[in-house]
Amino acid sequence: MATPATAPAPPNPSPVPDDPPSPPAEAEEESPPPPPAPATSIEPTPSGDEESDDASSVSSASSGAPAAVAAGGGAAERPFPAAKDLLHISFNQDYGCFAAGTKSGFRIYNCDPFREIFRRDLAAEGDGGGGIGVVEMLFRCNILALVGGGDNPHYPPNKVMIWDDHQSRCIGELSFRSPVRGVRLRRDRIIVVLENKIFVYNFSDLKLVHQIETAPNPKGLCAVSQQPGSIVLVCPGAQKGQIRVEHYGARRTKFINAHTSRVACFALSQDGRLIATASTKGTLVRIFSATEGNLLQEVRRGADRAEIYSLAFSNNLQYLAVSSDKGTIHVFNLKINVGSTANDKPLPAPDPEVPHMSPPLSFIKGVLPKYFHSEWSVAQFRLHEGEQYIVAFGHEKNTVAVVGMDGSFYRCQFDPVNGGEMVQLECYNFLKPSDQP
């Protein structure tokens, strides 16, 4: 049971080579699913010499961004070693910023233009370690949710600390009997994810308003809509391959049997209308209507198993981005009428006739596996296999931002007409070499 401490003031909304391979003899397929208070904007708070990163426990970034690696197309160069100090990376709700939790504190970065906004060195406070395992921003305001992490956590891993950066201190906390796996924020809600349960709180008074039992959820999977008004929350269901959709405005719960394998990753569009899911197989991504629960589209990342790290919808719901341990970022076209997703029917199955097949070979119709007429990504950006990357769409048209647990930040652009390899626009090491062990 959670124990709330002092409640924060209600937020102020003022802005602050894996794919595709040659088809194997027998491509592994998934069976289709059964039918179915922030006050002002975050700004650096100068303290002492702004040019010295070690001058103070509260320091702001220098005006110049780190040196960028030369832009170009094709596979990205690896400009720096793995950043072993990193514990956590995540984008904010509108993908304009990202946060990094480290063994010594946390940092906030702007995506476009890229720059470090501020960092907080909690280890320098002298009361133990500084490890932060979860940093959840609330758009660009001064309130963040923090959870201790790493070998030497700054806060207990079973507590969510509400941090007010204007005061440089915690103004509230939520305590639990087991480690916190994830936190999600809205301007009116705090969602805390444990291994087998999710708690939903009012932001204004930290009052518990709902709790949900889930299947084992060690990754802390959860997503919540961000538009004002009705709240949509997505979390794992109680059964393997199932997701649960809570429509709080309509007081309705929907269960979607998304996959036959366990769900490994999902994303919810900001307006709460579309859900993208991937299973532990990682070969297929499915897009569902959050309202009706029906399958709208299915796309293929590849033929080999992969761990999907992140899924992201573009703001206009025309594209979906996917990252995995295979090291390739994929962008897919969405063929969904977003004006009427609630009444959409699943897209018709592609014609099993192989494209451009000559008439004498038409007897193969209906025999070739589903692999041969799958929907593939329209654009790709190749990084480094085995590294963990998260992906989001940039505010500039047809751009994608990528953040890696190796301390890398990439911004690239895709051609929506011709597709193919994306063009790298920027690459930065957001952890300076002196910060790495």
Query: What's the pLDDT tens digit per position in 1-34?
Result: 555 555 554 444 333 334 444 344 333 445 555 4
SS3 221: coil
Residue 35, judged by CB atoms within 10 A of its CB (0-12, 13-18, 19+), counts as exposed
Q: What is the pLDDT of residue 265?
A: 96
**Residue 68: what pLDDT?**
45
The CA-CA-CA angle for residues 316, 88, 124, to 5°, reads 130
By DSSP bridging, strand 379-382 and strand 420-421 are parallel
Can you give the pLDDT at residue 25?
37
pLDDT (0 to 100) of residue 246? 96
Confidence at residue 144, expressed as pLDDT on a 0 to 100 scale:
95
Report pLDDT for 123. 76
Q: What is the DSSP string of 108-154?
A: EEETTTTEEEEEEEGGGGSSS--BEEEEEE-TTBSEEEEEE-SSSBS
> What integer pLDDT is reported at residue 23 of this predicted model?
41
Q: What is the pLDDT of residue 271?
A: 92
- The pLDDT value recorded for residue 69 is 44
SS3 311: strand
Residue 268: which residues within 8 A CB-CB, separation 6 or more? 223, 224, 225, 232, 234, 274, 275, 290
State pTM to two decimals: 0.76
In a structure prediction context, what are the per-residue pLDDT tens digits for the chain, which is 437 residues long?
555 555 554 444 333 334 444 344 333 445 555 444 444 333 333 333 332 333 222 222 333 344 444 444 444 555 454 468 899 999 999 999 999 999 999 999 999 999 999 999 887 665 667 899 999 999 999 999 999 999 999 999 999 999 999 888 899 999 999 999 999 999 999 999 999 999 999 998 999 999 999 999 999 999 999 988 889 999 999 999 999 999 998 899 999 999 999 999 999 999 999 999 999 998 999 999 999 999 999 999 888 899 999 999 999 999 999 999 999 999 999 998 766 544 444 444 333 333 333 344 444 444 445 555 578 889 999 998 989 999 999 999 999 999 999 999 999 999 998 889 999 999 999 987 544 44
Burial pattern 106-138, b for ≥16 Cβ within 10 A else e, equals: bbbbbbbebbbbbbbbbbeeeeebbbbbbbbbb
What pLDDT does residue 126 have? 59
pLDDT given at position 28: 41
| Residue matched to tokens 């341990």 | 325
pLDDT in tens, 133-158: 999 999 999 999 999 999 999 999 99
